[in-house]
Amino acid sequence: MERFGLTKENWDQFVEWLWNFIPDLISAVIIFFVGVWVINIFSKALRKFFQQKDYDETLERFLYDLINIGLKILLVVLVVTQLGVQTSSLVAILGAAGLAIGLALQGSLSNFAGGVLILFFKPFKIGDYIEAQGVSGTVKEISIFTTKVNTFGNQLAVIPNGKISNGNIINYSAEERRRGKIEIGVSYESNIKEAKEILLDLINTQEKVIKDPAPEIFVTELGDSAVTLSLRFWALNDDFWEVHFYTIEEAKKRLEDKGISIPFPQRDVHLYSHDNRS
pLDDT in tens, 104-162: 445 567 787 888 888 788 899 888 999 999 999 999 988 878 899 999 899 999 999 88
Peptide bond into 213 cis (omega under 30): yes
Residue 4 pLDDT more than 80?
A: no
User: Which H helix or E strand runs over 160?
Assistant: strand 156-160
Closest Cα to residue 82, out of 16, 37, 17, 21?
A: 21
Q: Architecture of 177-257 per CATH?
A: 2-Layer Sandwich (3.30)
What does the pLDDT read at residue 98?
Answer: 62
Residues 169/120, Cβ–Cβ less than 8 Å: no
Distance CA 12, CA 197 (A): 106
256-278 confidence digits (pLDDT tens): 999 998 887 766 676 777 665 54
Q: Name which residue leads in pLDDT, 56 or 178.
A: 178
**Domain map (residue ranges) of the chain:** 2-104, 121-171, 177-257
What does the pLDDT read at residue 71?
Answer: 84
pTM reported for the whole predicted model: 0.60
Best-predicted range by mean pLDDT (221-225, 240-244, 265-269): 240-244
What does the pLDDT read at residue 85?
Answer: 66
Residue 156 identity: L
Question: CATH number of the domain at 121-171, out of 3.40.50.720, 1.10.1740.10, 2.30.30.60, 3.20.20.70?
Answer: 2.30.30.60
CA angle 162, 166, 168 (to 5 degrees): 125
CATH number belonging to domain 2-104: 1.10.287.1260
Residue 170 pLDDT more than 80?
A: yes
